[in-house]
Amino acid sequence: MEETFRTSMAPPLPGGQATLETVDIVVLVLYFVLVMAVGLWSMWRTKRSTVDGYFLAGKNMTWLPVGASLFASNVGSGHFIGLAGSGAAAGIAAIAYEWSGMLMVLLLGWLFLPIYISSGVTTMPEYLQKRFGGKRIQLFISILYLFIYIFTKISVDMYAGAVFIQRALQWNLYLAVGVLLCITAVYTIAGGLAAVIYTDAVQTCIMLAGALTLMVFSFAEVGGWEALLQGYHNAIPSVRVANSTCGLPRDDAFHLFRDPLTSDLPWPGIFIGMSIPSMWYWCSDQVIVQRSLAAKTLSHAKGGSLLAAYLKILPFFIMLLPGMISRILYPDEVACGDPEVCTKVCGNPVGCSDIAYPKLVMDLLPSGLRGLMMAVMIAALMSSLTSIFNSSSTIFTMDLWRYSRPRASEWELMIVGRVFVLVLVVLSVLWIPVVQASQGGQLFIYIQSISTYLQPPVAIVFILGCFWKRTNEKGAFWGLAVGLLVGCVRMVLDFVYPSPLCSQEDSRPAVVKDVHYLYFSTMLSFLTLVLVVSISLATEKPRPEQVSRLTWFTRYDQVKTRPGEQVFTVEAGMETREEMEVDPREEHPVETDPPQGNGVTHERKDSASSSVTSVPSQSRLSSALYWLCGMERRTPGETAPPAPVPPLSQDPARLLQEEPCMRHAVNFNLIVCMSVTVFFIGYWA
């Protein structure tokens, strides 16, 4: 049968757009009350006026909140919008990123995390500074991480959450962004990592409950699994551009491994081009590693990785497949094939697949459940943004600010970390228009393509630094510099020469048009690897202190000390403490006043009553504000102590110790989880 096309007039949009009703607003209010209650409880429970308390939650987290926070930090609103949109536009191939992440988060717990714990670091740039020495790599990586967070995390999640609010409340995009930022910025500035992790655990439960509910409604509406398999290929919009592929579903929509030359996700690129950036994200990204470092023991950190890996199975069922169902139910809008129609539907001429999930929520669910799904999206957004805000402020404060002010007090560091969150918010809002117009309207593909241009060189440096002792500073720095330069050139070309509309001829340069970003990631990884290895072998070996307790093979090394001393060294603004054996007679020295008159030494008396009377009174409002911000009130003239430095002389065998029962349990689950991952990949390949 010959197909008829209409190109002049777009069909009218369906009237009666569903909006939130009173019962939905009540559900949203209850959600906010619950989250605020958990946040206040966690703020009360944790000492947030210290570096460990604010940035690492006191290092006292168990496997359950750690695993839930890992999942919630990864699965933000960008996943709900982007993964469902990719499913609607191109089928199941994008889920390869999720299942690759299942393996990589396990590598974090079993291979990378023992090295980070043994080295006693707080941030990933700090690890590179200890491993290679000097400061240029640390500063380079710190700035790069902040750029990556802005380009691929903060602005993307804000845009995705705003898209959902825009569909639900008919608000302007930037008004929705402003409301979201007011909530998340205040929440992060006040709470610290403990509040983020505990509320992440609650929000994970809310996300899963709501998303599973929508999945059930979606499959019931479309008619089950067989109806999905058949209906997707028939989900063609009624208005398309003549003699083009606009609006047509892919023939390989239900294949995970696709043609190596002509497909949107070639299967050879998935193995290396996708795995290397995924390894960076799960094994060396500050957002992820910071949660694992907050675990009380290595076993709890491994348990958190396992829980996150098991939960990563679910996005296929609760995000991607509902996105494909949305295309079947609403082909004229979700799969629009004419730029004029797409502009009227969603304001984006390159495609409207990103509205697949919110369209499903607003048009399919009854009152009450729409409010629940609104809470789910806000939960996904808040959990992701608060995690990124906290980790970004950690990097800026501990790696950049302490470099310029090495003697900064904890009071100063806490203030700087909070203020920097506001700076991040402004920069991210300015980047949103670029996100909106990128990658043919597929938000998830935008995230992954940018990642493949910036992350492979960093991942290669971390891999070699952790597992090859011969890697030195010169090799790591120049491998990073050249690799990132090449990656940035390709990224700029992508923005200068954006993907044409499906009805337009592709006149982009060959390096952009013919070299898929996954293949480019593979070549970039190989280039960085060759540079780091060659330069490291051609230059001097790393010093012993740049290897001891900083690689997989030296993680159990003991710190050599000289008995009877306590040495503090300062290297380029970062203090390193080596604790020595101290004479017991000097363990509690008597504080003395300077000699007076006859030279007699007087013991200083620390009177509790005098100290109380010396503290000026403060109003209840002032006390409440200080508590809300997690800051301790100091008396006039009182000098805040410098930020504490982690003790490096602890026995690494004790730091990495695991109870036999826990060790066997997590190792057994490791085998089960890897088997499940391989089964899913093999079944859909």
Is 417 inside a domain boundary? yes
CB 48 within 8 A of CB 392: no
Is 644 inside a domain boundary? no
Q: How many domains does the chain fold into?
A: 1
3-state secondary structure 636-649: CCCCCCECCCCCCC
Is 166 inside a domain boundary? yes
Task: For 425-475, give the DSSP string.
Answer: HHHHHHHHHHHHTSGGG-HHHHHHHHHHHHHHHHHHHHHHHHH-TT--HHH
Residue numbers of the chain with a pLDDT score lower than 50: 1-16, 48, 439-441, 561-616, 627-628, 630, 634-640, 643-647, 649
Is 526 inside a domain boundary? no
CB 521 within 8 A of CB 456: yes
Q: In degrees rounded to 5, what are phi and psi of residue 610?
A: -65, -35
What is the torsional sign of CA 18, 19, 25, 27? positive
Q: Report the pLDDT value the prediction gives residue 571, as an integer from 0 to 100.
A: 37
Cα 249 to Cα 341: distance, rounded to the nearest angstrom: 17
Q: Report the pLDDT value the prediction gives residue 432, as an integer from 0 to 100.
A: 67
CB 92 within 8 A of CB 253: yes
- Both tokens assigned to 42: 């966690």
| 21 alpha carbon, distance to own chain's centre | 33
Angle at 227 between CA 223 and CA 231, to 5 degrees: 120
Q: Report the pLDDT value the prediction gives residue 570, as an integer from 0 to 100.
A: 35
CATH code for the domain of 385:
1.20.1730.10
Which letter, b or e, does each residue of 147-177 get, where b requires 16 or more Cβ atoms within 10 Å of its Cβ? ebbbbbbbbbbbbbbbbbbbbbeeeebeebb
Angle at 285 between CA 206 and CA 435, to 5 degrees: 70
Of 9, 14, 3, 17, the residue nearest 340 (C-alpha)? 9
Cα 286 to Cα 293: distance, rounded to the nearest angstrom: 10
Is 536 inside a domain boundary? no
CB 330 within 8 A of CB 14: no
Of 344, 349, 376, the residue nearest 360 (C-alpha)? 376
Q: In degrees rounded to 5, what are phi and psi of residue 6?
A: -125, 125
CB 92 within 8 A of CB 316: yes
- CA-CA distances (angstroms) from residue 670 to 67, 109, 154, 295? 14, 10, 32, 18
* pTM confidence score: 0.78
CB 286 within 8 A of CB 462: no
DSSP secondary-structure letter at 84? H
Q: Report the pLDDT value the prediction gives residue 105, as an integer from 0 to 100.
A: 95
Q: Report the pLDDT value the prediction gives residue 308, as an integer from 0 to 100.
A: 95
Residue positions counted in the chain: 685
Is 146 inside a domain boundary? yes
CB 322 within 8 A of CB 357: yes
Domain that holds residue 316: 58-237+290-404+412-449
- CA-CA distances (angstroms) from residue 458 to 250, 269, 447, 452, 531? 34, 18, 17, 11, 13
| Tens digit of each residue's pLDDT (9 = 90 or more) over 378-411 | 777 777 777 777 788 888 888 888 888 888 777 7
Is 480 inside a domain boundary? no
Cα 285 to Cα 367: distance, rounded to the nearest angstrom: 39
61, β-bridge pairs: 295
Cα 357 to Cα 319: distance, rounded to the nearest angstrom: 8
Q: Report the pLDDT value the prediction gives residue 15, as an integer from 0 to 100.
A: 38
Is 39 inside a domain boundary? no
Q: Report the pLDDT value the prediction gives residue 167, as an integer from 0 to 100.
A: 67
Q: Report the pLDDT value the prediction gives residue 7, as an integer from 0 to 100.
A: 32
